[in-house]
Amino acid sequence: MRLTPQQIAQFDREGYLFFPSLFSPEETKVLTDAVPALYARREAYNVREKGGEAVRTNFAAHLYSEPFAKLARHPRMVEPVMDLFDEAVYMHQFKINGKMAFEGDVWQWHQDYGTWLNDDMMPTERAMNVAIFLDDVNEFNGPLMFIPGSHKKGVVEAKHDLTTTSYPLWTVDNDLITQLVERAGGKDGGIVSPKGPAGSMILFHSCLVHASTSNLSPWNRVSVYLSLCAVSNHIRRFKRPEYIAHRDFTPIACLPDDCLRRDYPVDLPWKQGMPASALVTSPEPIDQIRKAA
């Protein structure tokens, strides 16, 4: 799937693109049916909500689950990012966020690139998220909220929040959020929240400031996020485990567009279990580690 000049201009202006019902119910069901078994695993790559059993985030499913390995190579997910970067991309992060009914906790206001810069030493913001809804998203089940145009500010000041939820995040304070929302239009469009049926897709800039509220509704809001990075912009530090920030910078080779409906072979390197090396981390930059070796 390639972007039109109009879509590229809209992305540059607003920092995101929304594609309602881009994947069919049949395609979406292939993914949805695979989630419960993944969430049931007692593994480090399943981060659960603070004080509960509901999964907040499942990481790296594309390395051990065939349906998600296919999604990680799907042209509808990958090609639009390649269009925007005019470069091949690799998988920096793959996660299935489970904002479960009654239990899904808040995601504070943040920029994804803030984390990738501070934790992973990613050189520039030439990386972004592309997400697919696995459930219908409405105003009640904790939809994403964006501040349109906030990506134009570049990297903004953030603090490392280690206590609010079960997952640490570089978050933006309330005063700056207020300023960004007013700059984007205040009550008239300063915050937007794309909603739609399962199978819808969102593409958004790594500096776009976004958040989501807790899910107090009886409806799950599960979404899959591919964080795709330009190959030349690969991370320079392995401070986080490999299941969170990947270390294979090989360009993604897309499968045919019907890959979720047909049988195509995919590599599943972690099918028999996550290797011990995936848990090895270092605060030092990659080049220093290589020199020491």
pLDDT in tens, 154-185: 888 878 877 777 677 788 899 999 999 999 99
- From the list 78, 101, 98, 99, the residue with the least C-alpha distance to 90 is 78
What is the rounded end-to-end Cα distance, in angstroms, of the chain? 43
Cβ count within 10 A of residue 182 = 12
- From the list 211, 246, 254, the residue with the least C-alpha distance to 229 is 246
- From the list 248, 212, 225, the residue with the least C-alpha distance to 105 is 212
- From the list 225, 6, 21, the residue with the least C-alpha distance to 127 is 225
CB proximity list for 181: less than 8 A, separation 6 or greater: 147, 190, 191
Q: What is the pLDDT of residue 292?
A: 57
Vertex 17 angle, CA 206 and 38, to 5°: 70
Chain mean position to CA 10: 20
Q: Look up residue 59 and give its two tokens.
A: 């990481």
Q: Look up residue 281 and give its two tokens.
A: 């981390």
Q: What is the pLDDT of residue 219?
A: 97
Q: What is the pLDDT of residue 50?
A: 87
How does strand 55-59 pair with strand 210-212? unpaired
In whole angstroms, how far apart are CA 271 and each of 33, 249, 266, 280? 18, 20, 11, 19
CB proximity list for 211: less than 8 A, separation 6 or greater: 106, 107, 108, 109, 110, 144, 145
pTM score: 0.93
In whole angstroms, how far apart are CA 153 and each of 150, 176, 177, 184, 227? 6, 11, 12, 11, 20
Q: Assign domain 5-292 one CATH number from 2.60.120.620, 3.40.50.2300, 3.40.630.30, 2.40.50.140.
A: 2.60.120.620
Q: What is the pLDDT of residue 170?
A: 86
How does strand 201-205 pair with strand 16-19? antiparallel
Residues of the chain with pLDDT under 50: none
CB proximity list for 120: less than 8 A, separation 6 or greater: 92, 235, 236, 237, 239, 240, 245
Q: What is the pLDDT of residue 71?
A: 98
Scanning 21-164, the segments in alpha helix (DSSP H) are 25-32, 35-39, 66-71, 75-85, 112-120
Q: Look up residue 74 and give its two tokens.
A: 């799907």
